[in-house]
Amino acid sequence: MRLDYLSIFPGYFDVLGISLLGKAAVNGLVDVYAHDLRDWTHDRHRTVDDTPCGGGAGMVMKPDPWGEAFDEIIGTEPDPSVHVVFPSPSGEPFTQSVAHDLSSVERIVFCCGRYEGIDHRVIDYARSMWTVHEVSLGDYVLNGGEVAALAITEAVVRLVPGFMGNPQSLAEESFSAGQDGLLEYPLFTRPVSWRGLDVPEVLMSGHHGRIAKWRRDESIRLTRERRPDLTDSDVSARH
Ligand SMILES: COC(=O)c1cc2cc(CO)sc2[nH]1
């Protein structure tokens, strides 16, 4: 998998050389390239923004540098196998399902906006050439797309076959298919007693059936308490 990042702050992506992602990059599972959008400007100030047409506060990212960067980094011919991701507060929700879909593609280009956002024609042009995902991580404001791109990257790359040491750990996570859309149950390890707090006895019983039931019940309880939106009618009936 090749990952490209287009940003006026490419340094954000130095972190991808660390930990698991670093290992994946080393063993050739993932190739990471960060690019400074200003490399495709031609004026002395390396200008990437301008005032919004129609007025309004702030600045908008000019389309020209993006187009020239696309030409050099991706190419000038349409190719639906290239997936271009625009993190955006007005995007579609980024979910584990989207992460799963992206984990099997060969190439992802992340376009990180700053200022008030990117001239919309950049997104329209990208849609005419590649497979585009405008995705939101949630209903909150960031100053740019870089942090969102890092979060999306981690969610996607950890699902790439061969990336995680123990694939079984993927199966039991919140939001993974195996959990029926429920939140993950509470986790415990040794010591059994810690600062007057004990591991639930059932988890030390060695009784696998009782342990599985306790975990399921906890997942249902947590989901009902914290994420009623996830417990739609038939799911709650099933539990
Ligand atoms: C100029 O701001 C951006 O490009 C921008 C991208 C994103 C993604 C967010 C979380 O979904 S908030 C946000 N702002």
| Domains of the chain, start order | 2-158 (3.40.1280.10), 167-230 (1.10.1270.20)
CA triplet 230, 83, 162: central angle to 5 degrees?
75
Inter-CA distances, 118 with 58, 87, 90, 145, Å: 12, 11, 12, 11
CB-based contacts of 168, cutoff 8 Å, min separation 6: none
Cβ–ligand 1 distance for 10 under 6 Å, the answer: no
| Helix pair 146-157, 19-26: axis angle to 10 deg | 60
Going by their DSSP bridges, the two strands 193-194 and 197-198 should be labelled as antiparallel
Q: How confident is the model at residue 237 (pLDDT cuts 50, 70, 90)?
A: low
Ligand 1 center from residue 12 Cα (angstroms): 14
Ligand 1 center from residue 143 Cα (angstroms): 6
Q: How far apart are CA 67 and CA 61, in angstroms?
A: 12
**Which ligand 1 atom is nearest residue 137's CA?**
11
H helices of the chain, in order, are: 19-26, 63-73, 96-102, 120-129, 146-157, 168-171, 208-226, 233-238
What φ, ψ does residue 170 adopt, rounded to 5°? -75, -30
Q: What is the DSSP string of 9-33?
A: -GGGGGGGGSHHHHHHHHTTS-EEE
Residue 231: the pLDDT is 81
Rounded to the nearest integer, the mean pLDDT of the chain is 92
What φ, ψ does residue 77 adopt, rounded to 5°? -105, 140
Instruction: Provide the percentage of residues in the chain whose pLDDT is more than 70.
Output: 91
Task: Among 41-45, 82-86, 220-224, 230-234, name the one with the lowest average pLDDT.
Answer: 230-234
Instruction: Specify the amino acid at residue 209.
Output: G
Q: What is the mean pLDDT of residues 180-187?
A: 93
Cβ–ligand 1 distance for 139 under 6 Å, the answer: no
Ligand 1 center from residue 70 Cα (angstroms): 20
Identify the sign of the CA torsion 13, 36, 79, 138. positive
Q: How far apart are CA 82 and CA 84, in angstroms?
A: 6
**Which ligand 1 atom is nearest residue 114's CA?**
1
DSSP state for residue 220 in the 8-state scheme? H
pTM: 0.92
Residue 172 pLDDT greater than 80, yes or no: no
pLDDT digits (tens, 9 = 90+) for 79-121: 999 999 999 999 999 999 999 999 999 999 999 999 999 999 9
pLDDT digits (tens, 9 = 90+) for 8-40: 999 999 999 776 566 766 678 899 999 999 999
Residue 174 pLDDT greater than 80, yes or no: no
